[in-house]
Structure 1
Amino acid sequence: MPRCQPLTPQTRSWSGRMTRLFDRLRARLSSRSGSKAERKQLSVPMNPNETTAVQASQPSAPDSGGSSRTQGFHYDPLPQNTLHIRLLSLVSLDGEHPSFVLDAVRLDEAPPYVALSYCWGDPTPRETILVNGVPLKITSNLMQALRSVYRAVTRNDAPSLWHKNERVLLWADAISINQADIPEKNAQVPMMSEIYKRARGALGYVGSPAEGEDPGRAIEAMAELSNTSVGNDPATNQHNPSSGGSAFSDGGASFRRFWSSPWFTRCWVTQEAVLSKVMICLYGNEDRHITVPLDTLGVLIHQVQLPGPYRNREALAAAARGANSHTAMQAYAWCQMRTTLGENPQGINLVKTLRLTRKAQASDSRDKLFSLLGLIETADRAALSPTVDYSVSNTSDRVFLALAQHCATSAKNCMAMLALAGSHTASTSLPTWVPDWTTEPCASLDIRLYRASGTTSFADAQIRLSANGRELILRALTADKISALGPAVTYPDFTIPEMNVGLEGMLIVVEQAAFLFASQVQERFNRLPGPGTIEDVVMRTVTAGLGLGDRRSLPADRVFYDAFCAHYPRDGSEPPWVSRGEQGPDYHPFATLASHANAGRRVFTTVAGQIGLAPGDAQAGDWVTLVPGSHLPFILRNVGGNKFKLVGHCYVEGAMDGEIIERFRLLLEEANLPGASVMNMFKEVVLV
């Protein structure tokens, strides 16, 4: 698993509840095929007044839901004077087509309901349901979600979301919003936060395992991987994987299948997961399923990340081979955001929210912002809500530019935004200082851990926009130039085992390139680019100075780097323990940090004898630049005069704590120039 921020003390308290959580969890893990009585028709008498025909729509604005298509049907408009939503209730699952009732209700008077969270899957509508007696075509994934949810109701599963024999009302965006009506979409999307907050909870339909596979195996694998003690407690042994023994006896296939679910990748799920009182994940189908709270998954993911020899290394290797690990980290980010929002109900920092959801996917790229409005701080939400407009003229580039222009009004948000921008973008119309949220050029570094510009302040940057709003003007110090670059490391596809193996091989090449660059600097300048030995410098360079547990690198971290070098000697020889059939020392903590730091980057050396990690599309001659108040250095490319393209942020070994500023200050003192100061060396630059 890649590194990420640890949970807050409040969240860490989850670990103390693990045994109790798993007592309840394992009691539900067993197959719930259901008796014949359970599989009888589940019907809710239709109120005679509930006969208004409600028609189908195109897929709703949020892409976490399924889709429905118009076939001559229409929606009755929602009242304009008050906030209304539409709720779905089941009439019958039996017969050729399941039957439902859809009612419009005032949001502030709505009866208890559950928000349904799921992803589109194949967008082609292939299934038919009856809504108020009228046929409606929906996607297969939506049909499977509806059937699975209501079968769970018959088993009285997820009791925190509903009560036995209760009429279960669902808010399902694909059916509850008329996407064919653009004004309605524009009005409903800003209401999402209230819809999720007022719901009793959310039920996330993760998907189904392979045919014949026990859906509980994936959760058992997480427990095994995280070294929980549930397997040693006889009271919790009501369920074991169907094949017995380790949950990784299938080579980790069930584990990887669970975390490869597209549900974990959808941007609209973020708001549902974070704002809901509780999010229950349902994995399975009509006949067999498991439900597990998202918070429990967060505890497991957190424990898997913890360093130490206690973890099942064979299980870890099986999980890593082809594992779509970024989806687990997305789920973990949701848990972090739930905690943050609980501590600060006013909302989460705008740029932090965007960073944590950078990899999330959206069918409509404008939803990369729209789907997060309910999570961000009140002032930012008020300023950005007018951008919610699904008309064709309001392109994603216009939305992203408006978002960046808003960030530029706050120096703090502007610096954090620049750390997420760069010239590697899928759009040719966006300025390089505007992040393209449909792509991630390189893995972001935690800006809290660095202070490259020393004690300079945000105010010293003197940020402003040009008259046309497409150029960002600020003060910067072009301190050094790139002289040479090593190989680029692209993001691996963790769903393909060969790519994972290739990544580890690439890390060997990167480590050796860093060692070569550091040796050249030492030979030419009679010094190393940073403190310590050459091995210390190389270790910090290829990990961007990161250590285990959300901190900067420490000397103690050398043990894992040394283990990596022992496994892969530079002379290509075979480690001695291989012939003895032994495993050798554990180097995975180093490999995890290095693979994150190098994703989308390449090793570089500078004219002044520094080494570091730059964005993958950096070039020789690009400038290593400091901006007042920024925690990270940037790579800028001069395009004439004082105009520059922003290539991206970088890591410079031995220069991440204000050392460059201090070096210039000492030079000015030695020159004894009257009135000279480091701040006078910062010049106005224009980012285009």
Structure 2
Amino acid sequence: MDMLTKNEPQSPTLLDMESSSSITRADSVYADSIDQVSIRLLRFSESEDDGVFTGKLETFRLASAPHFYTASYVWGTKTYSSTTVRLKTGSLSVLSSLAPFMHMVTKHKDFGNDDWWWIDSLCINLENGHEREKQIQIMADIYKRAKRAIIWLGEEREEGSDCTGAIEFLHYLSTLQVAFDRDDAAMRQNLEDPEFTSKCAAVSKLLFRPWWTRVWTLQEFVLSKEAKLYCGPKSISRGKLKSAVYSIFLCSTISSDFEHELVPRVAFDGAFNRRRIHQWHTRIDSRGISLISIMAYLGNHSATDSRDRIFSVLGLITSRDRKLIGTPEYSSSAELQFAKLVRSFWNEYGSLDIICFVHLFSRFSGPFDPGPDNSVPHWAPDWRATIEFASPVPMMVSQSASEHIGNFRPLKSATWNATYNAPGELSKKANVHFSHDLQVLHCDGVILDTIHGLGGLDDRQLRCQSFICAETGHTILQSSTNQQSGPRANMLPTDWIELIARSLVLNRQDKYFCFHAPTHYTTDFLHLCHACLAHAPVDWSFSTWFEHNKALVFGTQTLLDLVTNIPSEPPSSRSDLRRPPSYPVRPRSDFGSDKPDGFLSRFHDTVRKKARRLMVTHQGIVGMAPCRARSGDVVAVIFGCSIPLVLRAVGQGSWQVVGEAYAHDFMNGEVVGLVKRGKKDGCRFRLV
């Protein structure tokens, strides 16, 4: 259906339709007005007149409607075909992207002339704003009540996208999991077959089609009791598609020493993420999905109206999160709604964790500056920003221990024993206040320290799109002043190395943040550093990182000094030096494993995928900062937020949120003792 966002950002929405001169619909076509308890259904057949369908449009109460299909498709550009649906009350124009689908339906054996259909652009009076909004409110119920969602991916051959044979090959791929169970040799043989790989190209083109990355189509894929995807006349069920997608995943991860990108990751993610969300939605104990986690997971999706990033997932989220949103309305701006979401989140959960997502979603996170006009307050995530890759766990605040944020870890990775909770019991003393116009957020907290030095990053395969970083680079930044003397100034090299190693993995052994990092990560890190000095064949991402960071000063010594002052030990195996796979190595089941990731894999996730820079403060606090952080920014614990934040002073007494920070030894309530002993003073923050 893709109700409010059907293609590129310039494509129309139902709200745009009201003022569009290209749409002419006489009031008489829709004989009655419908509300949030009724729907119109359409029957249609192809007439003898070229380009004309004969149709019947009838109103039913949703609760007692006959069996009906729903159509999920991409609206496309703001054009209508010459095709019309002739009704007793008049004629309806058909979208150019919809006409081929309707022609397919009338000719396909799967459908008959007596079938009822719910097709948004035909069954809703687009000129009636009240009716539009009422229908949006029951969108989830419409898809839940439908007999089946029919998903239209387009013709097999479209300009620049020949998907001939893709559906048939997906049927074949859906059987691979059984055929190749634990038989990596057989799988490798297939992967090296030119015919096999050529068929994958058609699948890649199919997965590049826009339907996979539109915000409204996710709900349509997930909510229906049944769903079937059509490319031309060829089709595949949702269940078989999910199996095929998992086979693609298996083929890409058959072992740690053999990688094969069957489908480009940027195309694969859309289908794989929908498969994962469907699993979460249909799990036995499902109470819905966290709104914030799914909005972040859809960060690479398109929406004509950015407010639909909230409204398009109403049918998937928890009842508490639906209460945050209330009734969908389009009278207030996107920037106001995004600020209101932060306030509603605080009111419902007593937490400001949502503001951590400013790291990914802000005016400054994208490849160009949209300018200050219509900007969101810097403490509120700007969900209009898009990201290139969707991660199941994009932030530390997405930790598995956080039910109000959560993540999309594999279903059986349910156990965890590690929690970030920087303010500890002070979380009850956040004293949060929002200004009436929602431009300012006041809250209490503690400044831990000022950033003294920031490590450098190599830009290759770095998940940073910020125009600011593109202009300034990610070179090492170090204050010209010496770090202050204190208990950390003269620490032993081994102590510094442990702080650095644990910071580089955010002190977790897995990317889902379920378990603490093991002690051997420190030794693994030191092995890699010594291997770089010995010019061993170390993973390029680590060797370039070491080159960029060896001059970073900790206390009175550089990282290079610290490493050379600790005796070298030979690595336990050559695998310690290898780059981790771009996809995780295949588990024995689809549900994940509690086996810890290696240090290098965790390093890769933190530094490359999350684009975090090693940091050290004036008083020697070691941690990780957002790539947009700068020397002089402060690391603070906001009492309402479970993760420390990097803040930047702006003007007199005001602060901007840069993003979340890892500050080793300050992630689990240690600040409580500092405040009680008078070592740190609480302060009132004015976030703008």
Instruction: Tell me if TM exceeds 0.5.
Output: yes
Q: 1:619 to 1:269 in 2, by over 3 A?
A: same
Amino acid at match of 2:98: L
**Structure 2: how far apart are the matches of 1:456 and 1:261?**
49
2:249 paired residue among 295, 304, 315: 304
Q: Answer yes or no: is 1:376 the counterpart of 2:386.
A: no
**Structure 2: how far apart are the matches of 1:476 and 1:246?**
60
**Structure 2: how far apart are the matches of 1:592 and 1:552?**
12
Deviation by residue 1:81-133 (Cα, 9 ceiling, x = unmatched): 77221222231287632515233222122111122112223443245232427
Partner of 1:249: 197
Partner of 1:623: 634
Q: 1:229 to 1:687 in 2, by over 3 A?
A: same
Q: 1:123 to 1:70 in 2, by over 3 A?
A: closer
Contact (CA 8 Å) 2:338, 2:383: kept in 1 or not? yes
Partner of 2:353: 416
Q: 1:362 to 1:659 in 2, by over 3 A?
A: same
Contact (CA 8 Å) 1:59, 1:66: kept in 2 or not? no
**Which structure 2 segments of 5+ residues have no match?**
364-369, 389-393, 402-417, 478-482, 540-573, 585-599
Contact (CA 8 Å) 1:545, 1:653: kept in 2 or not? no
Contact (CA 8 Å) 1:634, 1:647: kept in 2 or not? yes
Q: How does 1:557-596 map to 2 (within 5 A)?
A: 569=532, 587-588=580-581, 589=584, 590=600, 594-595=604-605
Q: Answer yes or no: is 1:327 the counterpart of 2:270.
A: yes
Q: 1:613 to 1:120 in 2, by over 3 A?
A: farther
Amino acid at match of 2:510: G
1:171 Cα shift? 1.3
1:291 Cα shift? 0.7
Partner of 2:611: 601
Partner of 1:12: none
**Structure 2: how far apart are the matches of 1:315 and 1:452?**
39
* CA-atom RMSD in angstroms: 4.9
Contact (CA 8 Å) 2:82, 2:93: kept in 1 or not? yes
1:465 Cα shift? 1.7
Q: 1:255 to 1:302 in 2, by over 3 A?
A: closer
1:141 paired residue among 86, 97, 104: 97
Contact (CA 8 Å) 2:501, 2:521: kept in 1 or not? no
Contact (CA 8 Å) 2:229, 2:238: kept in 1 or not? yes
Secondary structure, aligned partner of 2:229: strand
Q: Answer yes or no: is 1:438 the counterpart of 2:384.
A: yes
**Structure 1: how far apart are the matches of 2:427 and 2:62?**
43
Partner of 1:97: 51
Q: 1:334 to 1:305 in 2, by over 3 A?
A: same
Moved more, 74-83 or 637-646: 74-83
What is the aligned-residue identity percentage?
A: 20
Partner of 2:132: 185
**Structure 2: how far apart are the matches of 1:367 and 1:198?**
22
2:445 paired residue among 476, 480, 497: 476
Contact (CA 8 Å) 1:419, 1:648: kept in 2 or not? yes
Partner of 1:211: 162
Contact (CA 8 Å) 1:546, 1:593: kept in 2 or not? no
Partner of 1:451: 420
Contact (CA 8 Å) 1:256, 1:323: kept in 2 or not? no
Q: How does 1:117-156 map to 2 (within 5 A)?
A: 117-132=72-87, 136-149=92-105, 151=107, 153-154=108-109, 156=110
Secondary structure, aligned partner of 1:87: strand
Secondary structure, aligned partner of 2:380: coil
Contact (CA 8 Å) 1:542, 1:613: kept in 2 or not? no
Amino acid at match of 2:343: Q
**Structure 1: how far apart are the matches of 2:506 and 2:116?**
50
Contact (CA 8 Å) 1:486, 1:513: kept in 2 or not? yes
**Structure 1: how far apart are the matches of 2:298 and 2:362?**
18
Q: Answer yes or no: is 1:647 the counterpart of 2:658.
A: yes
1:355 paired residue among 271, 296, 311: 296
Deviation by residue 1:129-168 (Cα, 9 ceiling, x = unmatched): 32427554434432233344555x51x4xxxxxxx76832
Amino acid at match of 1:228: Q
Deviation by residue 1:426-474 (Cα, 9 ceiling, x = unmatched): 5733211122111157943323354141532532212222243322221
Contact (CA 8 Å) 1:273, 1:334: kept in 2 or not? no
Contact (CA 8 Å) 1:60, 1:175: kept in 2 or not? no
Contact (CA 8 Å) 1:547, 1:593: kept in 2 or not? no
1:363 Cα shift? 0.9
Q: Answer yes or no: is 1:265 the counterpart of 2:213.
A: yes
Secondary structure, aligned partner of 1:646: strand
Partner of 1:466: 435
Report how many aligned residue pairs link the two structures. 572
2:66 paired residue among 111, 136, 139: 111
Amino acid at match of 1:327: G
Contact (CA 8 Å) 1:489, 1:600: kept in 2 or not? no
**Structure 2: how far apart are the matches of 1:649 and 1:263?**
33
Secondary structure, aligned partner of 1:85: strand
Deviation by residue 1:345-373 (Cα, 9 ceiling, x = unmatched): 5x444333433333332111121122223
Partner of 1:229: 178
**Structure 2: how far apart are the matches of 1:230 and 1:560?**
41
Q: Answer yes or no: is 1:313 the counterpart of 2:261.
A: no
**Structure 1: how far apart are the matches of 2:507 and 2:31?**
55
Q: 1:649 to 1:465 in 2, by over 3 A?
A: same
Secondary structure, aligned partner of 2:342: helix
Q: 1:275 to 1:636 in 2, by over 3 A?
A: same
Moved more, 265-274 or 205-214: 205-214
**Structure 2: how far apart are the matches of 1:309 and 1:532?**
37
Amino acid at match of 2:452: S
**Structure 2: how far apart are the matches of 1:464 and 1:144?**
54
**Structure 2: how far apart are the matches of 1:476 and 1:127?**
62
Partner of 1:683: 683
Amino acid at match of 2:285: E
Contact (CA 8 Å) 1:59, 1:179: kept in 2 or not? no
Secondary structure, aligned partner of 1:141: coil
Contact (CA 8 Å) 2:606, 2:612: kept in 1 or not? no
Q: 1:526 to 1:59 in 2, by over 3 A?
A: closer
Contact (CA 8 Å) 1:179, 1:185: kept in 2 or not? yes
**Structure 2: how far apart are the matches of 1:120 and 1:254?**
23
Deviation by residue 1:648-681 (Cα, 9 ceiling, x = unmatched): 212334543445556x36xx65xxxxxx587xx3
Partner of 2:564: none
Partner of 1:70: 23
**Structure 2: how far apart are the matches of 1:457 and 1:295?**
50
Q: Answer yes or no: is 1:402 the counterpart of 2:347.
A: no
**Which structure 1 segments of 5+ residues have no match?**
1-57, 157-163, 501-505, 515-519, 577-581, 670-675
Q: 1:348 to 1:314 in 2, by over 3 A?
A: closer
**Structure 2: how far apart are the matches of 1:350 and 1:254?**
34
Contact (CA 8 Å) 1:365, 1:438: kept in 2 or not? yes
Q: 1:175 to 1:595 in 2, by over 3 A?
A: farther
Deviation by residue 1:216-260 (Cα, 9 ceiling, x = unmatched): 366368659xx7123589xxx9xx99x994775229533432332
Secondary structure, aligned partner of 2:153: strand
Q: 1:298 to 1:474 in 2, by over 3 A?
A: farther
Q: 1:557 to 1:373 in 2, by over 3 A?
A: farther
* TM-score normalised over the length of structure 2: 0.69
* TM-score normalised over the length of structure 1: 0.69
Deviation by residue 1:500-551 (Cα, 9 ceiling, x = unmatched): 9xxxxx9xx98x979xxxxx999994448997956x9447516774525663
Amino acid at match of 1:465: F
Contact (CA 8 Å) 2:452, 2:632: kept in 1 or not? yes
Secondary structure, aligned partner of 2:343: helix
**Structure 1: how far apart are the matches of 2:687 and 2:318?**
27
